[in-house]
Structure 1
Amino acid sequence: MKAAIFHGVGEPLSIEEVDIAAPGPREILIKTAAVGLCRSDLHFLDGAYPHPTPVILGHEASGVVEAVGDAVTAFAVGDHVVTFLAPFCGTCRLCTSGQHSLCQDSSTKRGKDEPPRLSLNGEALPQFLNISGFAEKMLVHENGAVKIDKKMPLDRAALLGCAVITGASAIFNEAKLIPGESVAIIGAGGIGLSAINAAKIAGAGTIIAIDPLPQKRKLALKMGATHVVDANLDGAIDAVMDICPGGVDYAIEAVGRPQTAEMAWNISRRGGIAIILGMIAPGQKLSINGPTLLSGKTLKGSLMGGAKFKTDMPRLAHFYLNGQLDLDNVIAERISLSKINEAFDTLRRSENARSVIIFE
Structure 2
Amino acid sequence: MIRSKAAVLRGTGARQPYESSNPISIEEIFIAPPAAGEILVKVRGAGLCHSDLNAINGTSAPVLPLVFGHEGAGEVLEVGSAVRDVAIGDHVVFQFAASCGRCVYCLEGRPQICTTAAAAAAKGELMGGGSRFRDAAGNTLAHYSGVSCFSEYTVVDRGSVVVVDRTFPLDRAALLGCAVMTGVGAILNTARVRAGESVAVIGLGGVGASALLGARLCGAATIIGMDIDETKFERAKALGVTHVFNPKDETCVEAVRDATQGGVHFAFEFAGAVPAMRTALAVVRRGGSVIMAGLPKKGAELGFDPGGFVREEKALRGSFMGSCVPVRDIPRFIRLEQDGKLPIGNLIDRFIGFDGLNEGFDLLERGKVLRQVLVPGMA
**TM-score tier after normalising by the smaller chain length:** over 0.9
Q: Structure 2 counterpart of 1:79, which letter?
A: D
1:185 and 1:205 map into 2 onto residues whose CA distance is 14
How far has the Cα of 1:154 moved from its partner? 1.2
Instruction: Decide which of 116, 119, 129 is 2:134's aligned counterpart.
Output: 119
Q: Percent identity?
A: 39
How far has the Cα of 1:328 moved from its partner? 2.1
CA contact (8 A) 2:212 2:223 kept: yes
Q: Structure 2 counterpart of 1:119, which letter?
A: R
Moved more, 207-216 or 127-136: 207-216
Counterpart of 2:91 in structure 1 is 80
1:314 and 1:97 map into 2 onto residues whose CA distance is 21
Instruction: Decide which of 74, 77, 84 is 1:66's aligned counterpart.
Output: 77
How far has the Cα of 1:290 moved from its partner? 4.0
Q: Structure 1 counterpart of 2:28, which letter?
A: E
Q: For residues 255-283 of structure 1, what are the alpha-carbon distances to aligned partners after superposition, in whole Å with 9 as ceiling and x for unaligned? A: 10001011111111112110111111111
SS at the partner of 1:18? Answer: strand
Counterpart of 1:268 in structure 2 is 284
Q: For residues 7-58 of structure 1, what are the alpha-carbon distances to aligned partners after superposition, in whole Å with 9 as ceiling and x for unaligned? A: 1121521111111111111111110111111000111111111122111121
1:44 and 1:101 map into 2 onto residues whose CA distance is 21
TM-score by length of 1: 0.96
SS at the partner of 1:168? Answer: helix
How far has the Cα of 1:212 moved from its partner? 2.8
Equivalent positions of 1:284-299 (< 5 A) are 284-294=300-310, 295-299=312-316
Q: Structure 2 counterpart of 1:350, which letter?
A: G
Q: Structure 2 counterpart of 1:45, which letter?
A: I
Counterpart of 1:2 in structure 2 is 5
Q: Structure 1 counterpart of 2:7, which letter?
A: A
How far has the Cα of 1:232 moved from its partner? 3.2
2:95 and 2:363 map into 1 onto residues whose CA distance is 24
1:151 and 1:133 map into 2 onto residues whose CA distance is 21
Q: For residues 307-338 of structure 1, what are the alpha-carbon distances to aligned partners after superposition, in whole Å with 9 as ceiling and x for unaligned? A: 11001001111111111111222111111111
Equivalent positions of 1:5-20 (< 5 A) are 5-9=8-12, 10=14, 12-20=23-31
Q: Structure 1 counterpart of 2:235, which letter?
A: L
Q: For residues 163-221 of structure 1, what are the alpha-carbon distances to aligned partners after superposition, in whole Å with 9 as ceiling and x for unaligned? A: 10000110111001111111110011111111111111111111111123334221222
How far has the Cα of 1:80 moved from its partner? 1.1
SS at the partner of 1:329? Answer: helix
Instruction: Decide which of 12, 25, 33 is 2:44's aligned counterpart.
Output: 33
- Consecutive unaligned residues of structure 1, counting only runs of 5 or more, are none
Q: For residues 227-275 of structure 1, what are the alpha-carbon distances to aligned partners after superposition, in whole Å with 9 as ceiling and x for unaligned? A: 2222332222112111112211111011100010111111111121101
Is 1:93–2:109 an aligned residue pair? no
Is 1:251–2:275 an aligned residue pair? no
- Consecutive unaligned residues of structure 2, counting only runs of 5 or more, are 15-20, 121-125
Counterpart of 2:17 in structure 1 is none
Q: Structure 2 counterpart of 1:336, which letter?
A: G
Moved more, 289-298 or 247-256: 289-298
Is 1:339–2:339 an aligned residue pair? no
2:269 and 2:195 map into 1 onto residues whose CA distance is 20
Counterpart of 1:349 in structure 2 is 366
Moved more, 338-347 or 6-15: 6-15
Q: For residues 88-135 of structure 1, what are the alpha-carbon distances to aligned partners after superposition, in whole Å with 9 as ceiling and x for unaligned? A: 1112211111111000215973445x6x31111212211111111111
SS at the partner of 2:145? Answer: helix
Moved more, 263-272 or 228-237: 228-237
1:215 and 1:153 map into 2 onto residues whose CA distance is 30
1:224 and 1:149 map into 2 onto residues whose CA distance is 27
Counterpart of 1:304 in structure 2 is 321
Instruction: Output the aligned Cα RMSD.
Output: 1.5
